[in-house]
Structure formats: C-alpha cells, structure tokens
C-alpha cells in the first residue's frame, strides 16, 4: 500500500480574495454562475476578503486577488492598493477593471459637469438645497475613472462584460495549478 504523504506546502489550500470597485457586481454574479463547480472551488481554495463571505478587510496573504471594476473614487484606490499589497497575483476581472467600462463613460466630460448634471441641472433632478453632496463619509470622486492597471500592477486581464463562468473557471484553475489558462478563442471572442 502506498503511504505517500504530501508536503505541507502542497496541502495548503490556496487563498482567493475578491472585490468589486466601480463595477455592478455582474462579474461576481458570473463567479456564482459556476453553479455546482463553486463547491469544487470551495474544496480547492479558501476565500479571504470577498462579497462571498463578507470579510471587509484582507485577513491573510492571498494567492490570487480578483478585481471587478475600475477606480472611480478614493476608496476604490485604497481597496485596490490593499489587494496589491496582500495578493501575490491580481486579475482584472471584466471590462470595467480592464478598461473602465460603463463607469468610464463619465471620462468624456469634466467631473464638475458630471456633478452639475447629476445633482443640479439634470432634467429629473429635484434638489432645492442646490448643494452637491459633500459629506465626509462619501468617498471623494477621482477626476476620471481609471482601469486598475493604471493604479497598481496587474498580472492578468480577463475581458468580458462579464467574463463567462467558464472563462473564470479556466483562469482560476490555471492560476491555482501554476499553468497557463486554457482559454480557447470561442470563450473570449466578442464578434
């Protein structure tokens, strides 16, 4: 009978952290679309900070950080930097993280004009105070929306809005095995 024992390093379950910055949570929905494979994933990995377990800060160093959404405000930047500091590998998950996506449409006009349209001049705006919200609790908006790689180093980009569950699965399996992800053309084509 074979009595092979794995080294502690091989036995260690990998850790994954995930976050949504300026995104719509659609990319996280795509993770949940793994359906029953999410149980396989739970066998392979432990989740650190993630909307999946509701940890609000990173608990321990993680092998992989999945980032949904780009950076639209100061809080997004702080969270992204926290992930960079505590994750070995970062993946920009989806179009918002890789290039700003829908939120980056505001980059076409100056921030001041955006705020005026949203809070003062827009056709549906009712704002008798005439004030633009400025509570200190509200994260400060950046001058424009930045894709993640313009803020920190990002190792991998997985495009799509959202990337399919299959593409996410294959990417994670590749990263966890330390092998290139098997992403055939059909999975990442958008024509």
- CA–CA separation, 26 and 23 (whole Å): 8
Please, are residues 76 and 70 in contact by the beta-carbon 8 Å criterion? yes
Q: Which of residues 75-94 bind ligand SF4 (CB under 6 A)?
A: 94
The reply to whether 187 sits near ligand SF4 by the rule CB under 6 A is no
Q: Is 95 in the site for ligand SF4 (CB under 6 A)?
A: yes
- Asked if 27 touches ligand SF4 (CB under 6 A), the answer is yes
Residue 191 makes CB contacts below 8 A (sequence gap 6+) with: none
State the DSSP string of 34-97. TTTHHHHHHHHEEE-S-TTTT-SS--S-EEEEEEESBEEEHHHHHHHHHHHHHEEEEEEESHHH
Could you say which of 14, 24, 155, 166 contacts ligand SF4 (CB under 6 A)?
A: 24
Which residue number, 65 or 69, has a Cβ lying nearer to ligand SF4? 69
Based on the shown chain and the rule CB under 6 A, indicate whether residue 21 belongs to the binding site for ligand SF4.
no
The only residue of 15, 76, 83, 101 in contact with ligand SF4, by rule CB under 6 A: 101
The structure tokens listed for 140 are 């400060």
Q: Which residues inside 30-69 make contact with ligand SF4, applying CB under 6 A?
A: 68-69
CA distance 30 to 28: 5
Query: x/- site string to ligand SF4, residues 102 to 141, per CB under 6 A?
Result: x---------------------------------------
Choose the stretch contacting ligand SF4; rule: CB under 6 A; options: 95-103, 114-122, 137-145, 182-190. 95-103
């Amino acid at each position: 009978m074979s009595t092979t024992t794995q080294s502690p390093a091989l036995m260690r379950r990998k850790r994954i952290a995930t976050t949504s910055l300026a995104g719509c949570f659609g990319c996280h929905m795509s993770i949940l679309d793994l359906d029953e494979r999410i149980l396989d994933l739970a066998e392979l990995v432990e989740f650190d900070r993630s909307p999946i377990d509701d940890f609000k800060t990173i608990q321990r160093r993680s092998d992989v950080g999945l980032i949904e959404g780009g950076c639209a405000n100061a809080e997004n930047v702080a969270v992204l930097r926290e992930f960079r500091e505590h994750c070995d590998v970062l993946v920009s998950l989806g179009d918002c993280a890789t290039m700003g996506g829908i939120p980056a449409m505001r980059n076409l006009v100056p921030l001041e004009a955006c705020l005026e349209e949203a809070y003062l001049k827009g056709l549906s705006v009712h704002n008798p105070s005439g004030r633009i919200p400025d509570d200190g609790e509200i994260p400060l908006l950046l001058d424009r929306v930045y894709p993640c790689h313009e803020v920190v180093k990002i190792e991998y980009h997985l495009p799509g809005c959202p990337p399919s569950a299959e593409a996410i699965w294959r990417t994670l399996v590749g990263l966890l095995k330390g092998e290139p992800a098997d992403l055939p053309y059909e999975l990442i084509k958008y024509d």
